[in-house]
Amino acid sequence: MAERTFNDKEIRGLMERAAQLQASVDDRPDLGLTLSELEQIAAEAGIEPSFLRDAVRESDLGVGLRDVSGQTNTHVFVERTVPGTLTDDEWHQAVLVLRKNFASEAAAIFGASAVQTHGVSEQLGSTREWRHTSPSGVATSVTIRSIDDAQHIRIQRRVGLGTPRMEGIGYGFMISLLASFIAGGLAESVWVLVMSLVAFLLIFAPTIEWIDRRWREKKLNEIKEVASSIANIVHDEFDIATDALRDEIAAPAISLDELPEIEDIAAKSTTSDRTRT
């Protein structure tokens, strides 16, 4: 008979339950496990060590390393939470990244406002914000809020006036109406105009909707990359191994009885005259 196999979810559940059962009957003191031992157990359970280290970091800092992204009817957004406190230098570096990816030097030539060229930075308490609007009307806002040794990063861009379907129907209708007027005028027939309008709408509306969805996905991927760059700048490094050793390694105690007497120090000192150069 073939030996039974367990999937990842079953393995995690069995390991957790087995640990609970052992703890309920085991009278031995809890000696705990080292990080390397935990990584080995996680690997056997199908969990990558990097995810375990993230879990340990979240537990030690009390901060969830949140990574959320998505779309609304009119915006794309990314949210990140990383440990640390934002400094002025880190904020300046983050603004440089934002200007490189979103700012428009060409808009300055035509006398555009600051929000349409390099963007505008503002600070209110522990929250900093950068806003920019492209010449095509795409509005971008970036906020970094520092609270409880954590930095909450949010980037959002306005990518439409409605859902992709509504924009597909709206823009498709306008294009179809123009094309049908041309077709009806050439044929000098109202029926040709009406039939052309329906036919063009069935073609253009789904096409524009598909293009709009692909465009929004592209904009979402762009802000994901920017969010990753900013997170790398403002993220405070946290070394699990170093912090674990910091509690274990103590400075050697100094015994006052072992210190040399003042007379011994004086006997070992030289008696040569001091000179000034």
| Domain assignment present for 16 | no
Residue 96 and residue 87: Cα distance in Å, rounded? 14
| Domain assignment present for 209 | no
The CA distances from residue 91 to 76, 79, 232, 235, in Å, are 23, 17, 12, 11
At residue 117, does pLDDT exceed 50?
A: yes
Q: What is the pTM of this model?
A: 0.60
Domain that holds residue 80: 67-162+227-235
| Domain assignment present for 178 | no
Q: Are both 137 and 114 inside the same structural domain?
A: yes
At residue 7, does pLDDT exceed 70?
A: yes
Q: Are both 42 and 84 inside the same structural domain?
A: no
Q: Are both 128 and 51 inside the same structural domain?
A: no
Q: Are both 50 and 91 inside the same structural domain?
A: no
| Domain assignment present for 215 | no
Which CATH number goes with the domain that contains 123? 3.30.530
Nearest 5 degrees, angle CA 66-CA 67-CA 73? 125
Q: Are both 51 and 126 inside the same structural domain?
A: no
**How many structural domains is the chain composed of?**
2
Q: Are both 83 and 146 inside the same structural domain?
A: yes
Residue 274 and residue 277: Cα distance in Å, rounded? 10
At residue 271, does pLDDT exceed 70?
A: no
Q: Are both 131 and 57 inside the same structural domain?
A: no
Closest of 97, 110, 50 to residue 232, by C-alpha: 97
Q: Are both 45 and 156 inside the same structural domain?
A: no
Task: Give per-residue pLDDT as tens, 148-176.
Answer: 778 889 999 998 888 999 999 999 999 98
